[in-house]
Structure 1
Amino acid sequence: MTRAPQNTGLGILLMSATSFVFAVQDGISRHLAGEYNVLMVVMIRFWFFAAFALALSARQPGGIVGQLRSRFPMLQLARGLILIVEICLMVLAFVKLGLIASHAVFVSYPLIIAALSGPILGEKVGWRRWSAIGVGFVGVLIILQPGTAVFSPWAALPLLCAVMFALYGLLTRYVAQGDATGTSFLWTGLVAAIAITGPGLWYWEPVSATDWLWMGALCLTGITSHYMMIKAYEVAEAGDIQPFALLQLVFIALMGLTLFGETLAPNVVIGAALVMAAALFTLWRARVVARRGKS
């Protein structure tokens, strides 16, 4: 395959736009999950995701059948199952905790990826990145405040989701050794859609005409965000644009404050700042190490 022309500026713009659309998608999910069962909402979203993945695959060499051929079918299955469970739990966290608090914890997933990349992928993690991981998790503890009497068990949900998304990301990196991006994308859409359909249909409930419009917007933002993300990684190196994915927390905070009446508690601001700083340092350090390895 011919590599697309590289344009880091365009990649940064696409990743920033992707972060904004992901934030809008989460806001719509928060609204719909407050009115309908989470499983039904996620099911409809992934029906459209799977349809989009099939449409993309049909245009590739070998078509859908060719894109489905994988060297790691069991790992691809695991990726899809982990992702769909993670998304269901994260949407539930939006309802129980709010968008801002949930994302303030979830943004720690790059730190978890760094911590687990050693035992799972055999990558070396130096003391600098371990220090950043430690600082980041101090930030998570500041956000969650586990020692307080009012600590809610729901507060553990976004941290669990961050761990699951980190596992999903690590498995994605592992299968990339033998499978094309299109193959992983198609497996993700199909496995997640099939897995959620049974539970989602069980909790089906009538949807108002207005909320069908919101459902359509949810599906549209899901397709748009994933397509822009694919394009971003096509035109720029992952290490150059990944930090801009953290802008999603900024967009989420603005949306939570203006549309959902959420507040910015001091512990969330302090903790989120520590987590984001640690995540940015970890991403930067990984990029430095990768470049040294190439030289």
Structure 2
Amino acid sequence: MGRPLVISLAGVCVMWMPLCFVFLFASGFIAARFGTLDAEPFTLLLVRSLLVLPVLGLILWLRRKPRQWGRRNDRLAQMGIGMLLHGAYLGGVFAAVKAGLPAGLTALLVSLHPLVTAALSLPLFGVRLGVRQWAGLGCGAIGVSLVLGAGLARDGAGTLEWPLIGLVWCLVALIGVSSSTLWQKRVSGRMGLVEGLMFQYLGAGAVFVVAATSVGSFAFDPTPRLLLTMAWLVIAISVGAIWLLMLMLERGEAHQVARTFFLVPPCAALMAWWLFDEQWTALMVTGAALVVLGLVLDRPRPGMASKAPAEDATPSAPSASMPPGSTASATSEASATNSGQAASR
């Protein structure tokens, strides 16, 4: 009687892992809003990177598995990917929120990265897009147009309701995560997940130092709110998200993250509405629904996602981070899981 119960509980945990991962990913946008109230975004991310590195070292020590440090070129590549994935992507997200862009809207706009990556795969790698992928791109483009159009409609002067610089930072984030995903395609799978993340954070740290210096401010007011936010970023998201991602990769279920990734924007929007009273008009909701539909259409098909579970053992090999495969649907899965590494924010 006890054994079936244990098996049943294990099955429930496996089923909920992707959803928990998505929740943690979405909560990063909320943490960005809280954290940037008391600190400059790049300083906040720099401190967080410095705190995460020893945590990753502890995880490596506790795992007691053979280290996979890869070759010199692999380590340099991971640092470069970190500059784009953690530096440009997370830096863009936090800077956009700091500039006054709503957290829910930021989550929606940067969630377009699987579609952007799929679109870029066509000219860069010759990956042919199927009908579903073209439909997904179309829905995403129309949805974003409606959301931004709603921002214009709500302003009688015909100007955007949200700060333009915030939208520019979202564009930087989109370029960063899409570029890192495409680059990851070219990287070998000789590094372990945690080892690769350590070098990614080193690369990102350099970006944050330069960015904070250029802004001219290292403001970091250690209020209780900021300390709690930092604890959430490091422990709940960095450790929790990495742990869940490692479990899913080891089980060959990284595609589950990609399948449920379209839940991130509505999840973040709901949390932002509850915590910050961020309001969405009917036109914005319609546009957001079209974006989510586009992500659903672009998600990988179950049969294709299950073809390469063995490759998910490392951060650079899998469908874990490499976009263009033989089909465009593999691109969205790769892009989603690559962001999963960023979710260790």
TM-score band, normalised by the shorter chain? 0.7 to 0.9
Aligned alpha-carbon RMSD (Å): 3.1
CA contact (8 A) 1:22 1:222 kept: yes
Offset, 1:257: 0.9
- Structure 2 residue corresponding to 1:104, chosen from 105, 108, 127: 108
How many residue pairs end up in the alignment? 286
CA contact (8 A) 1:79 1:168 kept: yes
CA contact (8 A) 1:22 1:221 kept: no
Which region of structure 1 is more displaced relative to structure 2, 150-159 or 245-254?
150-159
Equivalent residue letter for 1:76: Q
User: Relative to structure 1, is the Cα distance of residues 60 and 267 closer, same or farther in structure 2, using a 3 angstrom cutoff?
Assistant: farther
What is the distance in 1 between the residues matched to 2:71 and 2:194? 10
User: Relative to structure 1, is the Cα distance of residues 207 and 180 closer, same or farther in structure 2, using a 3 angstrom cutoff?
Assistant: closer
What is the distance in 1 between the residues matched to 2:190 and 2:269? 38
Offset, 1:185: 2.1
Offset, 1:271: 1.4
Q: Which residue of 1 aligns with 2:83?
A: 81
Q: Which residue of 2 aligns with 1:252?
A: 268
Return the TM-score normalized by structure 1.
Answer: 0.82
Offset, 1:70: 4.8
Q: 2:218 matched to 1:215?
A: no
Equivalent residue letter for 2:298: T
List gaps (5 residues or longer) in structure 1: 1-6
CA contact (8 A) 2:102 2:278 kept: yes
Matches within 5 A, 1:101-180: 101-145=105-149, 148=152, 149-151=158-160, 152-153=163-164, 154-180=166-192
What is the distance in 2 between the residues matched to 1:138 and 1:97? 20
Equivalent residue letter for 1:113: T
What is the distance in 2 between the residues matched to 1:147 and 1:206? 33
What is the distance in 1 between the residues matched to 2:12 and 2:203? 34
Give SS of 2:127's match: coil
Give SS of 1:150's match: coil
Aligned sequence identity (%): 19
CA contact (8 A) 1:93 1:157 kept: yes
Structure 1 segments of 4+ aligned residues over 6 angstroms from their partners: none
Offset, 1:288: 4.5
Q: Which residue of 2 aligns with 1:69?
A: 71
CA contact (8 A) 1:12 1:232 kept: no
Offset, 1:140: 1.4
Offset, 1:37: 1.0
Which region of structure 1 is more displaced relative to structure 2, 236-245 or 220-229?
236-245
What is the distance in 2 between the residues matched to 1:290 and 1:236? 8
Q: 2:248 matched to 1:239?
A: no
Offset, 1:42: 0.9
Give SS of 1:284's match: coil
Return the TM-score normalized by structure 2.
Answer: 0.72
Q: Which residue of 2 aligns with 1:30?
A: 33
Tell me the alpha carbon deviations over residues 203-224 of structure 1, each in whole angstroms, 9 at most, x when there is no partner. 1444224532332222212321
Equivalent residue letter for 2:57: L
User: Relative to structure 1, is the Cα distance of residues 287 and 90 closer, same or farther in structure 2, using a 3 angstrom cutoff?
Assistant: farther
Which region of structure 1 is more displaced relative to structure 2, 142-151 or 123-132?
142-151
CA contact (8 A) 2:259 2:299 kept: yes
User: Relative to structure 1, is the Cα distance of residues 94 and 167 closer, same or farther in structure 2, using a 3 angstrom cutoff?
Assistant: same
Offset, 1:111: 0.6
Tell me the alpha carbon deviations over residues 37-56 of structure 1, each in whole angstroms, 9 at most, x when there is no partner. 11111112211222223333
- Structure 2 residue corresponding to 1:47, chosen from 42, 50, 65: 50
Offset, 1:194: 4.1
